[in-house]
């Protein structure tokens, strides 16, 4: 009887610890803000898994992003989302962006987002009405 109780206890303990194991990161959709002719702020929610390294792949070529041969910007992880600012972009260009998150089990990626940078660089003529 003691052996049976011991075996049940060990089995329950093994089941409980297996539930706490980490998974490959699962990422939501890439969100963007503050889009200019040369920068895009990116954010992506992490819905599952821990993160050891993260960031964004980006390019003007969708195939380069999907094969991870694109430019790569490391990001920061605040416990819920990955964030980074893509810079030195070209004005009036379509960019394809995919987030990545890595841990000891592998790399998770988001869907690819396409977004266009602003058509011109900001300058002194941006004021709609001059001040008199």
Structural domain count, the chain: 1
Residue 129 located in a structural domain: no
Separation CA 86–CA 51 (nearest Å): 20
Residue 66 located in a structural domain: yes
Sorted by sequence, the CB contacts under 8 Å of residue 35 that are 6+ apart come out as 41, 115, 117, 118
Residue 18 located in a structural domain: no
Residue 46 located in a structural domain: yes
Residue 110 located in a structural domain: yes
**What is the rounded average pLDDT of the residues 97-102?**
98
pLDDT over 70 (residue 125): no
Sorted by sequence, the CB contacts under 8 Å of residue 68 that are 6+ apart come out as 57, 100
pLDDT band at 120 (very low <50, low <70, confident <90, very high): confident
Residue 124 located in a structural domain: no
The whole model's pTM is what? Answer: 0.76
For residue 73, give the nearest of 87, 62, 61 by alpha carbon: 87
Query: pLDDT by residue (tens digit) across 20-30?
Result: 578 999 999 99
CA atoms within 13 A on the CB side of 66: 7
- Domain of 81: which CATH number? 2.60.40.10
């Amino acid at each position: 009887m003691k052996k049976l109780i011991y075996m049940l206890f060990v089995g329950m303990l093994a089941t409980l610890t297996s539930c706490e194991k980490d998974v490959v990161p699962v990422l939501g959709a890439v969100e963007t803000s503050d889009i200019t002719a040369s920068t895009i702020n990116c954010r992506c929610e992490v819905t599952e898994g821990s993160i050891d390294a993260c960031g964004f792949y980006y390019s003007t070529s969708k195939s380069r992003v999907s094969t991870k041969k694109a430019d790569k910007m490391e990001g920061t992880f605040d416990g819920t989302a990955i964030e980074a600012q893509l810079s030195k972009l070209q004005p009036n260009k379509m960019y394809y962006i995919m987030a990545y998150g890595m841990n000891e089990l592998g790399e998770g990626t988001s869907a690819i987002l396409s977004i266009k940078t602003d058509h011109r660089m900001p300058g002194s003529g941006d004021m709609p009405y001059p001040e008199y």
